Amino acid sequence: MSEATTSTETTAGTFEPRIQAFVCNWCTYTGADLAGTSRIPMAPNVRIIRLPCTGRIDTLFILKAFERGADGVIVSGCHPNDCHYAAGNFHARRRFAVFRELIDFLGLDPDRITFSWVSASEGKKWSEIVNDTTERIRRMGPFSAYRGLAGRTP
């Protein structure tokens, strides 16, 4: 993630959002792979980090992504009752729910983050998540308010 620090604003004034996705290995990553092999057109703005399970997605990953230059984040895993580890996504769902309202209270717009369930067969849905998120973040503009806060690293 440390490479993802370059500015996303171009001199021409057009803005290409940089979106970081955190996805689970078993459902969403496979679904994203299917979207790719099916050659479904998708915005090229999303970078994927694959984790074993949504239960492994510490919400600090999300803040770190914003710190290091992401304008938007996608968090996605298996549908309820489909988790490879049975309950990882149920645990994650509670944490995400609280996290979302917490950052909202701190003044960070939670619409910067898309939470979704995408199964291994839902290549189409993944492409929609990618395209919709890219469009939404494009409208919201760069998230310089957060990454621009005083920090030790640039």
Residues that bind other proteins (CB under 8 A): 59-60, 63-64, 67, 80-81, 87, 90-91, 93-110, 114-117, 129, 145-147, 149-153
SS3 content of the chain, % helix, strand, coil (to 5): 40, 15, 40
Tell me whether residue 36 or residue 102 sits nearer to other proteins (CB atom): 102
Nearest approach, Cβ of residue 126 and other proteins (Å): 11
**Least gap, CB of 114 to other proteins (angstroms):** 7
Cβ atoms of residues 118 and 35 within 8 Å: no
| Number of CB atoms found within 10 A of residue 13's CB | 6
Shortest distance, position 61 Cβ to other proteins, whole Å: 9
Cβ nearer to other proteins, comparing 50 with 110: 110
- Which of 112, 80, 92, 18 is closest to 52 using CA atoms? 92
Smaller CB separation from other proteins, 34 or 78: 78
CA 58 – CA 55 distance, rounded (Å): 8
Smallest distance from the beta carbon of 69 to other proteins, in angstroms?
Answer: 12
The rounded distance, in Å, linking the Cα atoms of 36 and 47 is: 13
Q: Considering the complex, what minimum distance in angstroms separates the CB of residue 141 from other proteins?
A: 12
Q: Cα 152 to the chain's mean position, in Å?
A: 24
**Helix/strand/coil for 24:** strand
By beta-carbon proximity to other proteins, the closer residue of 24 and 108 is 108
Identify which of residues 6 and 81 has a Cβ nearer to other proteins in the complex: 81
